[in-house]
A and B are shown apart, each in its own frame.
Chain A
Amino acid sequence: MKVWHFSEMAYHPAWPQLRDSYRVIVPSRLYDPKIGADLYHRYLDEWALCDELGINIMTNEHHATATCADSVCTIPMAILARETKKVRLLALGMPIGNRNDPIRVAEEYSTLDVISRGRIEMGFVKGVPFEIAPANTNPVDLMERFWEAHDLILKAMTSHDGPFNWEGTHFHYRSVNVWPRPYQQPHPPVWMPVGSPGSAMEAAERGMTIGVLNTGWVRTPPIFEAYRNKAAEVGRPMTPQRLAYMALIGVGDSRAEGERRADQILGYSRTSGIVAPQFMNPPGYASPALSAQALKTSGAV
Protein backbone atom coordinates (compact mmCIF):
# COMPACT_ATOMS: atom_id res chain seq x y z
CA MET A 1 0.00 0.00 0.00
CA LYS A 2 1.20 3.49 -0.82
CA VAL A 3 0.49 6.38 1.53
CA TRP A 4 0.04 9.99 0.45
CA HIS A 5 0.26 13.22 2.44
CA PHE A 6 -2.37 15.71 1.36
CA SER A 7 -2.78 19.36 2.31
CA GLU A 8 -4.98 22.01 0.74
CA MET A 9 -2.51 24.68 1.91
CA ALA A 10 -5.41 26.36 3.69
CA TYR A 11 -5.30 30.02 4.68
CA HIS A 12 -6.93 29.38 8.05
CA PRO A 13 -6.38 32.87 9.56
CA ALA A 14 -9.35 34.08 7.49
CA TRP A 15 -11.75 31.40 8.69
CA PRO A 16 -13.13 33.25 11.73
CA GLN A 17 -14.22 36.08 9.41
CA LEU A 18 -16.08 33.86 6.96
CA ARG A 19 -19.85 33.96 7.08
CA ASP A 20 -22.39 32.45 4.67
CA SER A 21 -20.01 31.35 1.97
CA TYR A 22 -16.49 29.99 2.43
CA ARG A 23 -15.96 30.08 -1.31
CA VAL A 24 -16.45 32.03 -4.54
CA ILE A 25 -17.34 35.43 -3.04
CA VAL A 26 -14.80 35.69 -0.20
CA PRO A 27 -12.86 38.96 -0.71
CA SER A 28 -9.08 38.60 -0.91
CA ARG A 29 -8.61 41.52 1.49
CA LEU A 30 -9.03 38.81 4.13
CA TYR A 31 -5.72 37.37 2.92
CA ASP A 32 -2.54 38.83 4.42
CA PRO A 33 0.25 37.91 2.01
CA LYS A 34 2.91 38.10 4.74
CA ILE A 35 1.09 35.45 6.77
CA GLY A 36 0.31 33.63 3.53
CA ALA A 37 4.02 33.44 2.67
CA ASP A 38 4.79 31.93 6.07
CA LEU A 39 2.05 29.36 5.54
CA TYR A 40 3.25 28.37 2.07
CA HIS A 41 6.74 27.84 3.48
CA ARG A 42 5.34 25.81 6.36
CA TYR A 43 3.42 23.51 4.01
CA LEU A 44 6.43 23.13 1.72
CA ASP A 45 8.61 22.32 4.76
CA GLU A 46 6.12 19.65 5.80
CA TRP A 47 6.35 18.14 2.33
CA ALA A 48 10.15 18.27 2.45
CA LEU A 49 9.89 16.22 5.65
CA CYS A 50 7.57 13.80 3.82
CA ASP A 51 10.33 13.21 1.30
CA GLU A 52 12.78 12.37 4.10
CA LEU A 53 10.24 10.00 5.68
CA GLY A 54 9.23 8.37 2.39
CA ILE A 55 5.62 9.58 2.38
CA ASN A 56 4.27 10.41 -1.08
CA ILE A 57 2.82 13.89 -1.62
CA MET A 58 -0.53 14.96 -3.05
CA THR A 59 -1.61 18.49 -3.99
CA ASN A 60 -4.96 19.75 -5.24
CA GLU A 61 -6.48 23.05 -6.24
CA HIS A 62 -9.53 25.19 -5.53
CA HIS A 63 -10.30 28.79 -6.44
CA ALA A 64 -11.49 31.93 -4.68
CA THR A 65 -11.40 30.37 -1.24
CA ALA A 66 -9.56 30.54 2.08
CA THR A 67 -10.00 26.80 2.58
CA CYS A 68 -7.44 26.03 -0.12
CA ALA A 69 -4.79 28.58 -1.03
CA ASP A 70 -3.39 26.27 -3.70
CA SER A 71 -5.12 27.69 -6.77
CA VAL A 72 -2.67 26.18 -9.28
CA CYS A 73 -1.79 22.63 -8.23
CA THR A 74 1.26 22.45 -10.47
CA ILE A 75 3.00 25.40 -8.79
CA PRO A 76 3.80 23.67 -5.48
CA MET A 77 4.52 20.57 -7.57
CA ALA A 78 7.12 22.56 -9.48
CA ILE A 79 8.90 23.44 -6.24
CA LEU A 80 8.62 19.87 -4.98
CA ALA A 81 9.84 18.41 -8.27
CA ARG A 82 13.30 19.78 -7.49
CA GLU A 83 13.22 20.04 -3.69
CA THR A 84 12.23 16.42 -3.09
CA LYS A 85 14.27 13.47 -4.32
CA LYS A 86 12.49 10.24 -3.53
CA VAL A 87 8.72 10.32 -3.19
CA ARG A 88 6.02 10.31 -5.84
CA LEU A 89 4.18 13.56 -6.50
CA LEU A 90 0.47 13.47 -7.24
CA ALA A 91 -1.62 16.44 -8.36
CA LEU A 92 -5.30 15.53 -7.86
CA GLY A 93 -5.68 17.51 -9.58
CA MET A 94 -6.04 19.55 -12.61
CA PRO A 95 -9.66 20.60 -13.42
CA ILE A 96 -9.24 20.01 -17.14
CA GLY A 97 -12.88 20.74 -17.97
CA ASN A 98 -12.39 24.19 -16.45
CA ARG A 99 -8.96 24.98 -17.91
CA ASN A 100 -9.18 26.68 -21.28
CA ASP A 101 -5.89 25.33 -22.61
CA PRO A 102 -5.28 21.55 -22.41
CA ILE A 103 -1.95 21.90 -24.23
CA ARG A 104 -0.70 24.07 -21.40
CA VAL A 105 -1.70 21.30 -18.98
CA ALA A 106 0.27 18.75 -21.03
CA GLU A 107 3.28 21.08 -20.99
CA GLU A 108 3.05 21.62 -17.23
CA TYR A 109 2.78 17.92 -16.42
CA SER A 110 5.51 16.93 -18.89
CA THR A 111 7.92 19.53 -17.54
CA LEU A 112 7.22 18.45 -13.96
CA ASP A 113 7.78 14.83 -14.91
CA VAL A 114 11.16 15.56 -16.44
CA ILE A 115 12.39 17.82 -13.61
CA SER A 116 11.31 15.25 -11.00
CA ARG A 117 12.93 12.48 -13.06
CA GLY A 118 9.69 10.62 -13.54
CA ARG A 119 7.98 10.98 -10.15
CA ILE A 120 4.77 12.69 -11.30
CA GLU A 121 1.27 11.18 -11.10
CA MET A 122 -1.16 13.35 -12.98
CA GLY A 123 -4.71 13.80 -11.78
CA PHE A 124 -7.60 15.05 -13.89
CA VAL A 125 -10.65 16.23 -11.95
CA LYS A 126 -14.16 17.23 -12.89
CA GLY A 127 -14.22 19.88 -10.16
CA VAL A 128 -16.92 20.52 -7.58
CA PRO A 129 -19.95 22.63 -8.61
CA PHE A 130 -18.72 25.82 -6.96
CA GLU A 131 -15.58 25.80 -9.13
CA ILE A 132 -17.79 26.68 -12.10
CA ALA A 133 -18.31 30.33 -11.11
CA PRO A 134 -14.60 31.21 -10.71
CA ALA A 135 -13.75 29.46 -13.99
CA ASN A 136 -16.89 30.75 -15.78
CA THR A 137 -17.00 27.57 -17.80
CA ASN A 138 -20.29 26.24 -19.11
CA PRO A 139 -21.54 23.66 -16.58
CA VAL A 140 -23.77 21.97 -19.16
CA ASP A 141 -20.97 20.45 -21.23
CA LEU A 142 -18.34 20.20 -18.49
CA MET A 143 -17.85 16.44 -18.86
CA GLU A 144 -17.76 16.68 -22.64
CA ARG A 145 -14.90 19.18 -22.28
CA PHE A 146 -13.27 17.01 -19.60
CA TRP A 147 -13.02 13.96 -21.85
CA GLU A 148 -11.98 15.93 -24.93
CA ALA A 149 -9.22 17.63 -22.90
CA HIS A 150 -8.20 14.26 -21.44
CA ASP A 151 -7.87 12.71 -24.91
CA LEU A 152 -5.98 15.70 -26.26
CA ILE A 153 -3.54 15.90 -23.30
CA LEU A 154 -2.66 12.20 -23.54
CA LYS A 155 -2.25 12.36 -27.29
CA ALA A 156 -0.07 15.48 -26.96
CA MET A 157 2.15 13.78 -24.36
CA THR A 158 2.56 10.58 -26.37
CA SER A 159 3.03 11.98 -29.91
CA HIS A 160 6.68 12.48 -30.76
CA ASP A 161 6.77 12.94 -34.51
CA GLY A 162 6.07 16.64 -34.85
CA PRO A 163 2.83 18.62 -34.91
CA PHE A 164 -0.61 17.08 -35.21
CA ASN A 165 -4.00 18.64 -35.85
CA TRP A 166 -6.87 18.85 -33.34
CA GLU A 167 -10.15 20.41 -34.36
CA GLY A 168 -12.57 19.05 -31.78
CA THR A 169 -15.85 20.25 -30.34
CA HIS A 170 -14.25 22.43 -27.68
CA PHE A 171 -10.53 22.68 -28.46
CA HIS A 172 -8.87 23.79 -31.64
CA TYR A 173 -5.16 23.57 -32.45
CA ARG A 174 -3.47 23.21 -35.79
CA SER A 175 0.02 22.52 -34.50
CA VAL A 176 0.15 20.43 -31.35
CA ASN A 177 3.76 19.67 -30.53
CA VAL A 178 4.45 19.48 -26.81
CA TRP A 179 7.99 19.92 -25.51
CA PRO A 180 9.40 18.43 -23.36
CA ARG A 181 8.01 14.96 -23.70
CA PRO A 182 7.39 13.22 -20.38
CA TYR A 183 10.11 11.30 -18.53
CA GLN A 184 7.83 8.31 -17.82
CA GLN A 185 6.82 6.33 -20.90
CA PRO A 186 4.36 6.47 -22.45
CA HIS A 187 3.10 9.02 -19.90
CA PRO A 188 2.81 9.48 -16.11
CA PRO A 189 0.08 7.47 -14.35
CA VAL A 190 -3.34 9.14 -14.63
CA TRP A 191 -5.69 9.59 -11.69
CA MET A 192 -9.32 10.62 -11.45
CA PRO A 193 -11.45 11.11 -8.32
CA VAL A 194 -14.72 9.21 -8.57
CA GLY A 195 -17.82 9.01 -6.41
CA SER A 196 -19.97 6.46 -8.19
CA PRO A 197 -19.70 3.01 -9.83
CA GLY A 198 -20.44 4.64 -13.21
CA SER A 199 -17.45 6.95 -13.13
CA ALA A 200 -15.29 4.13 -11.70
CA MET A 201 -16.06 2.12 -14.83
CA GLU A 202 -15.10 5.04 -17.07
CA ALA A 203 -11.75 5.20 -15.25
CA ALA A 204 -11.24 1.41 -15.39
CA GLU A 205 -11.77 1.39 -19.14
CA ARG A 206 -8.87 3.80 -19.53
CA GLY A 207 -6.57 2.26 -16.92
CA MET A 208 -6.75 5.28 -14.63
CA THR A 209 -6.18 5.13 -10.90
CA ILE A 210 -9.29 6.17 -8.99
CA GLY A 211 -9.31 8.28 -5.86
CA VAL A 212 -12.39 7.83 -3.72
CA LEU A 213 -12.99 10.44 -1.04
CA ASN A 214 -14.83 9.75 2.20
CA THR A 215 -17.41 7.39 0.72
CA GLY A 216 -17.27 5.17 3.82
CA TRP A 217 -17.71 1.44 4.19
CA VAL A 218 -21.16 1.31 2.54
CA ARG A 219 -20.60 3.28 -0.68
CA THR A 220 -16.96 2.35 -1.34
CA PRO A 221 -17.14 -1.44 -2.03
CA PRO A 222 -19.56 -1.14 -4.99
CA ILE A 223 -17.30 1.53 -6.52
CA PHE A 224 -14.20 -0.66 -6.22
CA GLU A 225 -16.17 -3.69 -7.42
CA ALA A 226 -17.38 -1.82 -10.51
CA TYR A 227 -13.79 -0.82 -11.26
CA ARG A 228 -12.45 -4.37 -10.90
CA ASN A 229 -15.20 -5.83 -13.08
CA LYS A 230 -14.74 -3.27 -15.84
CA ALA A 231 -10.93 -3.62 -15.78
CA ALA A 232 -11.32 -7.40 -16.15
CA GLU A 233 -13.87 -6.97 -18.92
CA VAL A 234 -11.62 -4.73 -21.02
CA GLY A 235 -8.44 -6.63 -20.11
CA ARG A 236 -6.70 -3.85 -18.19
CA PRO A 237 -4.08 -5.08 -15.70
CA MET A 238 -5.38 -4.72 -12.16
CA THR A 239 -3.18 -3.83 -9.20
CA PRO A 240 -4.14 -2.61 -5.72
CA GLN A 241 -2.45 0.68 -6.62
CA ARG A 242 -5.30 1.44 -9.02
CA LEU A 243 -7.68 1.93 -6.08
CA ALA A 244 -7.03 4.84 -3.73
CA TYR A 245 -9.10 5.91 -0.76
CA MET A 246 -8.99 9.10 1.27
CA ALA A 247 -10.19 8.65 4.84
CA LEU A 248 -10.43 11.11 7.70
CA ILE A 249 -8.72 9.67 10.74
CA GLY A 250 -7.31 11.02 13.96
CA VAL A 251 -4.29 9.50 15.67
CA GLY A 252 -3.39 10.14 19.31
CA ASP A 253 -1.66 8.60 22.29
CA SER A 254 -5.05 7.85 23.79
CA ARG A 255 -8.48 7.11 22.37
CA ALA A 256 -9.72 10.50 23.60
CA GLU A 257 -6.84 12.30 21.92
CA GLY A 258 -7.41 10.41 18.69
CA GLU A 259 -11.11 11.28 18.73
CA ARG A 260 -10.39 14.93 19.51
CA ARG A 261 -8.10 15.18 16.50
CA ALA A 262 -10.51 13.26 14.27
CA ASP A 263 -13.23 15.69 15.28
CA GLN A 264 -10.96 18.61 14.38
CA ILE A 265 -10.45 17.14 10.92
CA LEU A 266 -14.15 16.45 10.61
CA GLY A 267 -14.72 20.10 11.54
CA TYR A 268 -12.80 21.05 8.43
CA SER A 269 -14.99 18.74 6.40
CA ARG A 270 -18.13 20.20 7.99
CA THR A 271 -17.21 23.80 7.20
CA SER A 272 -15.24 23.79 3.96
CA GLY A 273 -18.39 22.93 2.03
CA ILE A 274 -20.27 26.00 3.26
CA VAL A 275 -21.03 27.80 0.03
CA ALA A 276 -23.79 30.22 -0.95
CA PRO A 277 -26.56 27.96 -2.36
CA GLN A 278 -26.65 29.59 -5.79
CA PHE A 279 -23.18 28.20 -6.49
CA MET A 280 -23.98 24.66 -5.34
CA ASN A 281 -26.00 23.43 -8.31
CA PRO A 282 -25.19 25.35 -11.49
CA PRO A 283 -27.59 24.37 -14.29
CA GLY A 284 -26.50 21.26 -16.15
CA TYR A 285 -23.80 20.27 -13.67
CA ALA A 286 -26.13 17.56 -12.41
CA SER A 287 -28.69 15.70 -14.52
CA PRO A 288 -32.16 17.27 -14.93
CA ALA A 289 -33.57 14.48 -12.72
CA LEU A 290 -31.19 15.31 -9.86
CA SER A 291 -31.62 19.05 -10.33
CA ALA A 292 -35.39 18.57 -10.29
CA GLN A 293 -35.18 16.97 -6.86
CA ALA A 294 -33.00 19.84 -5.60
CA LEU A 295 -35.54 22.30 -7.01
CA LYS A 296 -38.44 20.62 -5.22
CA THR A 297 -36.58 20.29 -1.95
CA SER A 298 -35.13 23.78 -1.68
CA GLY A 299 -37.87 25.54 -3.61
CA ALA A 300 -35.00 27.54 -5.05
CA VAL A 301 -34.64 28.51 -8.66
Chain B
Amino acid sequence: MERIQVGGVSLEVTSVGEGPPLLFLHGGDYFAQHRDFFETLARQWRVFVPRHPGFGRSEQPDGFRTVHDLAYLYLDLIDRQELGKVTLVGSSFGGWIALEMCVRCVEKIDRLALIDAVGVKFGGREDRDIADIYALSHDELLARTFSDPAGAAPDYSRLTDEEAVLVARDRQATAHYGWRPYMHNPGLRQWLHRVRVPALVLWGDGDGIVSADYGQKLCRSLPKARFELIRKAGHYPQIERPAEVADAIDRFARAEVL
Protein backbone atom coordinates (compact mmCIF):
# COMPACT_ATOMS: atom_id res chain seq x y z
CA MET B 1 0.00 0.00 0.00
CA GLU B 2 1.16 3.50 -0.86
CA ARG B 3 -0.21 6.91 -0.02
CA ILE B 4 -0.47 9.93 -2.27
CA GLN B 5 -1.60 13.49 -1.73
CA VAL B 6 -4.00 14.97 -4.25
CA GLY B 7 -4.66 18.58 -3.42
CA GLY B 8 -5.04 18.44 0.31
CA VAL B 9 -6.41 14.91 0.39
CA SER B 10 -4.39 11.92 1.55
CA LEU B 11 -5.35 8.77 -0.35
CA GLU B 12 -4.40 5.12 -0.01
CA VAL B 13 -3.45 3.73 -3.43
CA THR B 14 -2.48 0.41 -4.89
CA SER B 15 -0.18 0.60 -7.89
CA VAL B 16 0.78 -2.61 -9.68
CA GLY B 17 1.99 -3.82 -13.09
CA GLU B 18 3.68 -2.39 -16.13
CA GLY B 19 2.07 -1.10 -19.30
CA PRO B 20 -0.32 1.61 -20.35
CA PRO B 21 -2.05 3.36 -17.41
CA LEU B 22 -5.37 2.03 -16.12
CA LEU B 23 -7.22 3.88 -13.38
CA PHE B 24 -9.64 1.60 -11.54
CA LEU B 25 -12.43 3.15 -9.45
CA HIS B 26 -13.83 0.60 -7.03
CA GLY B 27 -17.43 0.08 -5.95
CA GLY B 28 -18.97 0.39 -2.53
CA ASP B 29 -18.11 -2.96 -1.03
CA TYR B 30 -15.91 -6.07 -1.30
CA PHE B 31 -12.68 -4.22 -2.02
CA ALA B 32 -10.58 -6.95 -0.37
CA GLN B 33 -11.96 -9.46 -2.88
CA HIS B 34 -10.31 -7.71 -5.86
CA ARG B 35 -6.82 -9.20 -5.53
CA ASP B 36 -7.13 -11.73 -8.36
CA PHE B 37 -8.55 -9.09 -10.67
CA PHE B 38 -5.75 -6.61 -10.00
CA GLU B 39 -3.10 -9.33 -10.48
CA THR B 40 -4.63 -10.33 -13.80
CA LEU B 41 -4.86 -6.74 -15.02
CA ALA B 42 -1.28 -6.07 -13.92
CA ARG B 43 0.02 -8.41 -16.66
CA GLN B 44 -1.02 -5.89 -19.31
CA TRP B 45 -1.41 -2.61 -17.50
CA ARG B 46 0.06 -0.23 -15.01
CA VAL B 47 -2.93 -0.45 -12.65
CA PHE B 48 -3.61 2.46 -10.37
CA VAL B 49 -6.30 1.97 -7.68
CA PRO B 50 -7.07 4.82 -5.30
CA ARG B 51 -9.29 4.20 -2.28
CA HIS B 52 -11.98 6.89 -2.42
CA PRO B 53 -12.00 9.57 0.29
CA GLY B 54 -13.63 8.08 3.39
CA PHE B 55 -13.02 4.50 2.20
CA GLY B 56 -10.36 2.10 3.48
CA ARG B 57 -7.50 4.15 4.91
CA SER B 58 -8.15 7.24 2.79
CA GLU B 59 -9.12 10.32 4.73
CA GLN B 60 -12.62 11.81 4.59
CA PRO B 61 -12.22 15.56 4.08
CA ASP B 62 -14.99 17.72 5.55
CA GLY B 63 -15.90 19.32 2.25
CA PHE B 64 -16.36 16.05 0.37
CA ARG B 65 -20.10 15.40 0.33
CA THR B 66 -21.03 14.39 -3.21
CA VAL B 67 -19.79 12.30 -6.11
CA HIS B 68 -18.97 15.58 -7.86
CA ASP B 69 -16.13 16.09 -5.37
CA LEU B 70 -14.75 12.63 -6.20
CA ALA B 71 -14.96 13.32 -9.96
CA TYR B 72 -12.93 16.54 -9.68
CA LEU B 73 -10.47 14.88 -7.32
CA TYR B 74 -9.71 12.09 -9.79
CA LEU B 75 -9.44 14.47 -12.74
CA ASP B 76 -6.85 16.29 -10.61
CA LEU B 77 -5.20 12.97 -9.73
CA ILE B 78 -4.71 12.07 -13.41
CA ASP B 79 -3.10 15.47 -14.01
CA ARG B 80 -0.87 15.51 -10.96
CA GLN B 81 0.32 11.92 -11.16
CA GLU B 82 1.16 12.58 -14.80
CA LEU B 83 -0.46 9.31 -15.76
CA GLY B 84 -0.93 10.41 -19.35
CA LYS B 85 -4.12 9.32 -21.12
CA VAL B 86 -5.67 6.61 -19.00
CA THR B 87 -8.05 3.78 -19.55
CA LEU B 88 -10.67 4.50 -16.92
CA VAL B 89 -12.48 1.52 -15.38
CA GLY B 90 -15.29 1.94 -12.88
CA SER B 91 -17.26 -0.71 -11.03
CA SER B 92 -20.70 -0.02 -9.51
CA PHE B 93 -20.35 3.19 -7.45
CA GLY B 94 -16.93 3.71 -9.08
CA GLY B 95 -18.67 3.60 -12.48
CA TRP B 96 -20.82 6.50 -11.34
CA ILE B 97 -17.69 8.49 -10.45
CA ALA B 98 -16.18 7.59 -13.86
CA LEU B 99 -19.27 8.89 -15.67
CA GLU B 100 -19.22 12.13 -13.65
CA MET B 101 -15.56 12.56 -14.68
CA CYS B 102 -16.27 11.92 -18.35
CA VAL B 103 -19.16 14.39 -18.62
CA ARG B 104 -16.79 17.02 -17.27
CA CYS B 105 -13.57 16.34 -19.19
CA VAL B 106 -12.28 13.48 -21.33
CA GLU B 107 -9.02 15.19 -22.30
CA LYS B 108 -6.91 12.69 -20.30
CA ILE B 109 -9.20 9.70 -20.74
CA ASP B 110 -8.44 7.32 -23.57
CA ARG B 111 -11.22 4.80 -23.07
CA LEU B 112 -13.89 4.07 -20.50
CA ALA B 113 -14.95 0.65 -19.20
CA LEU B 114 -17.95 0.43 -16.90
CA ILE B 115 -18.69 -2.69 -14.87
CA ASP B 116 -22.25 -2.88 -13.54
CA ALA B 117 -22.19 0.87 -13.01
CA VAL B 118 -24.78 2.92 -11.14
CA GLY B 119 -25.32 6.68 -11.13
CA VAL B 120 -28.08 7.19 -13.69
CA LYS B 121 -31.87 7.06 -13.28
CA PHE B 122 -33.83 5.67 -16.23
CA GLY B 123 -37.15 4.58 -14.74
CA GLY B 124 -40.06 6.56 -13.37
CA ARG B 125 -40.45 7.78 -9.81
CA GLU B 126 -41.99 4.51 -8.65
CA ASP B 127 -39.49 2.29 -10.45
CA ARG B 128 -36.50 1.12 -8.49
CA ASP B 129 -33.63 0.98 -10.98
CA ILE B 130 -31.09 0.14 -8.30
CA ALA B 131 -31.92 -2.37 -5.56
CA ASP B 132 -32.05 -0.83 -2.10
CA ILE B 133 -29.09 -2.65 -0.56
CA TYR B 134 -29.88 -1.11 2.84
CA ALA B 135 -33.38 -2.62 2.97
CA LEU B 136 -32.57 -6.17 1.83
CA SER B 137 -32.08 -9.07 4.19
CA HIS B 138 -28.54 -10.41 4.38
CA ASP B 139 -29.38 -13.53 2.37
CA GLU B 140 -31.24 -11.67 -0.34
CA LEU B 141 -28.51 -9.07 -0.64
CA LEU B 142 -25.90 -11.78 -1.21
CA ALA B 143 -28.15 -13.61 -3.68
CA ARG B 144 -28.58 -10.41 -5.67
CA THR B 145 -24.92 -9.39 -5.46
CA PHE B 146 -23.24 -12.65 -6.46
CA SER B 147 -23.99 -15.30 -9.03
CA ASP B 148 -22.61 -17.82 -6.56
CA PRO B 149 -22.93 -16.32 -3.05
CA ALA B 150 -21.51 -19.42 -1.35
CA GLY B 151 -18.36 -19.22 -3.44
CA ALA B 152 -17.87 -15.46 -3.61
CA ALA B 153 -19.19 -13.87 -0.41
CA PRO B 154 -16.54 -13.28 2.25
CA ASP B 155 -16.88 -14.65 5.78
CA TYR B 156 -16.78 -11.52 7.91
CA SER B 157 -16.52 -13.44 11.16
CA ARG B 158 -12.92 -14.28 10.19
CA LEU B 159 -11.80 -10.68 9.73
CA THR B 160 -9.36 -9.03 12.10
CA ASP B 161 -10.70 -5.97 13.93
CA GLU B 162 -8.70 -3.74 11.62
CA GLU B 163 -10.01 -5.39 8.46
CA ALA B 164 -13.58 -5.17 9.76
CA VAL B 165 -13.16 -1.44 10.44
CA LEU B 166 -12.08 -0.96 6.81
CA VAL B 167 -15.24 -2.69 5.57
CA ALA B 168 -17.34 -0.59 7.97
CA ARG B 169 -15.63 2.57 6.67
CA ASP B 170 -16.38 1.51 3.08
CA ARG B 171 -20.03 0.98 3.92
CA GLN B 172 -20.26 4.30 5.75
CA ALA B 173 -18.60 6.22 2.92
CA THR B 174 -20.82 4.60 0.29
CA ALA B 175 -23.87 5.76 2.24
CA HIS B 176 -22.31 9.19 2.72
CA TYR B 177 -22.12 9.76 -1.04
CA GLY B 178 -25.00 7.62 -2.27
CA TRP B 179 -27.84 7.69 0.27
CA ARG B 180 -30.15 10.29 -1.25
CA PRO B 181 -30.86 10.52 -4.16
CA TYR B 182 -30.13 6.83 -3.95
CA MET B 183 -26.96 5.87 -5.88
CA HIS B 184 -27.62 8.27 -8.73
CA ASN B 185 -27.46 11.88 -9.79
CA PRO B 186 -30.83 12.94 -11.27
CA GLY B 187 -29.06 15.39 -13.58
CA LEU B 188 -26.45 13.01 -14.99
CA ARG B 189 -28.51 11.37 -17.73
CA GLN B 190 -28.95 14.58 -19.71
CA TRP B 191 -25.16 15.02 -20.00
CA LEU B 192 -24.17 11.49 -21.00
CA HIS B 193 -23.69 12.65 -24.63
CA ARG B 194 -20.53 14.31 -23.33
CA VAL B 195 -18.90 10.92 -22.65
CA ARG B 196 -17.09 11.27 -25.98
CA VAL B 197 -14.68 8.37 -25.58
CA PRO B 198 -14.95 4.75 -26.71
CA ALA B 199 -16.76 2.94 -23.94
CA LEU B 200 -17.30 -0.68 -22.98
CA VAL B 201 -20.25 -1.52 -20.78
CA LEU B 202 -19.68 -4.84 -19.02
CA TRP B 203 -22.44 -6.48 -17.03
CA GLY B 204 -22.81 -9.60 -14.91
CA ASP B 205 -25.64 -11.65 -16.40
CA GLY B 206 -26.90 -12.42 -12.88
CA ASP B 207 -26.67 -8.93 -11.42
CA GLY B 208 -29.65 -8.53 -9.08
CA ILE B 209 -28.60 -5.08 -7.86
CA VAL B 210 -28.72 -3.34 -11.24
CA SER B 211 -30.11 -5.43 -14.06
CA ALA B 212 -28.48 -6.06 -17.45
CA ASP B 213 -31.43 -4.19 -18.92
CA TYR B 214 -30.26 -1.08 -17.06
CA GLY B 215 -26.77 -1.72 -18.43
CA GLN B 216 -28.11 -1.78 -21.98
CA LYS B 217 -29.96 1.49 -21.43
CA LEU B 218 -26.77 2.99 -20.10
CA CYS B 219 -24.87 1.70 -23.14
CA ARG B 220 -27.41 3.23 -25.53
CA SER B 221 -27.09 6.58 -23.71
CA LEU B 222 -23.36 6.82 -24.41
CA PRO B 223 -22.22 8.06 -27.83
CA LYS B 224 -19.54 5.40 -28.50
CA ALA B 225 -20.30 2.37 -26.37
CA ARG B 226 -20.75 -1.34 -26.78
CA PHE B 227 -22.25 -3.83 -24.35
CA GLU B 228 -20.89 -7.18 -23.23
CA LEU B 229 -22.37 -9.66 -20.78
CA ILE B 230 -20.15 -11.59 -18.39
CA ARG B 231 -21.58 -15.05 -17.80
CA LYS B 232 -22.05 -16.51 -14.32
CA ALA B 233 -21.42 -13.22 -12.61
CA GLY B 234 -23.43 -10.85 -10.41
CA HIS B 235 -22.89 -7.21 -9.51
CA TYR B 236 -19.11 -7.59 -9.19
CA PRO B 237 -18.06 -9.69 -12.22
CA GLN B 238 -14.41 -8.77 -11.62
CA ILE B 239 -14.61 -10.69 -8.31
CA GLU B 240 -16.42 -13.74 -9.67
CA ARG B 241 -14.87 -13.81 -13.20
CA PRO B 242 -11.62 -11.81 -12.94
CA ALA B 243 -10.00 -13.40 -16.02
CA GLU B 244 -13.03 -12.84 -18.24
CA VAL B 245 -13.39 -9.20 -17.19
CA ALA B 246 -9.67 -8.48 -17.59
CA ASP B 247 -9.77 -10.18 -21.01
CA ALA B 248 -12.77 -8.11 -22.11
CA ILE B 249 -10.94 -4.93 -21.10
CA ASP B 250 -7.78 -6.04 -22.96
CA ARG B 251 -9.76 -6.81 -26.14
CA PHE B 252 -11.56 -3.46 -25.86
CA ALA B 253 -8.24 -1.64 -25.52
CA ARG B 254 -6.88 -3.30 -28.67
CA ALA B 255 -10.05 -2.91 -30.71
CA GLU B 256 -10.40 -0.30 -33.42
CA VAL B 257 -12.25 2.75 -32.20
CA LEU B 258 -15.93 2.54 -33.07
- A: which residues have CB within 8 A of B? 133, 136-141, 276-279, 282-284, 288-289, 291-293, 295-301
**Considering the chains assembled together, what is the distance between the CA atoms of A133 and B157 in angstroms?**
26
**Among A140, A291, A301, contact of B176 (Cβ-Cβ < 8 Å):** A140
Residues in A with CB closer than 8 Å to B155 are: 299
B 15-41 contacts with A by CB, 8 A:
29
> Measured between alpha carbons, how far is A140 from B176 in the docked complex, in Å?
6
Q: Is the beta-carbon distance between B172 and A291 smaller than 8 angstroms?
A: yes
Query: Taking the complex as formed, is B191 at the interface, i.e. its CB lies under 8 A from any CB of chain A?
Result: no
Contacts A136-B180, A288-B168, A301-B142 given; does A278 touch B175 at CB 8 Å: no
Tell me whether A296 and B137 are in contact (CB under 8 A).
no
Q: In the complex the two chains form, is A278's CB within 8 Å of B134's CB?
A: yes
If over half of A's interface residues share one DSSP class (helix, strand or loop), that class is named, otherwise mixed; here it is: helix
Contact with A along B42-77 (1 / 0, CB 8 A): 000000000000000000000000000000000000
Complex interface: chain A residues within 8 A of B142 (CB)? 301
Q: Mark B128-148, 1 if CB is under 8 A from A, else 0.
A: 000001111110011000000
Answer whether residue B257 sits at the interface, using C-beta atoms and an 8 A cutoff: no
Q: Is the CB of B137 within 8 A of A283?
A: no
Say whether B157 contacts A299, CB under 8 Å: yes
Cβ proximity bits B175-219 to A, threshold 8 Å, 1 near / 0 not: 110011000000000000000000000000000000000000000
- Residues from chain A with a CB closer than 8 A to the CB of B164 are 292-293, 295-296
Once bound together, how far apart are the Cα atoms of A293 and B163, in whole Å?
11
Check: B10 CB closer than 8 A to any chain A CB.
no
* Set of chain B residues within 8 Å of A141, measured between Cβ atoms: 176
With both beta carbons as reference points, the residue of chain B lying nearest to A289 in the complex is identified as: B165
Kindly name the residue among B165, B167, B168 whose own CB sees the greatest number of chain A CB atoms within 10 A.
Answer: B168
Given that A133-B134, A277-B138, A283-B175 are known contacts, is A288 also in contact with B169, CB under 8 Å in the complex? yes
- Sample 12 A-B pairs with CB under 8 A, ordered by A number: A139-B175, A140-B172, A140-B173, A278-B135, A283-B174, A292-B161, A292-B164, A295-B167, A297-B157, A299-B156, A300-B156, A301-B142
Give min CB distance, B208 to chain A, whole Å.
14
Q: Which residues of chain B have C-beta atoms less than 8 A from A140's C-beta?
A: 172-173, 175-176, 179
A184 to B28, CA, bound (A): 49
Least CB separation from A290: chain B residue:
B168
The residue in chain A whose Cβ has the minimal distance to the Cβ of B179 is A138
Complex CA distance for A283 and B183, rounded to whole angstroms: 14
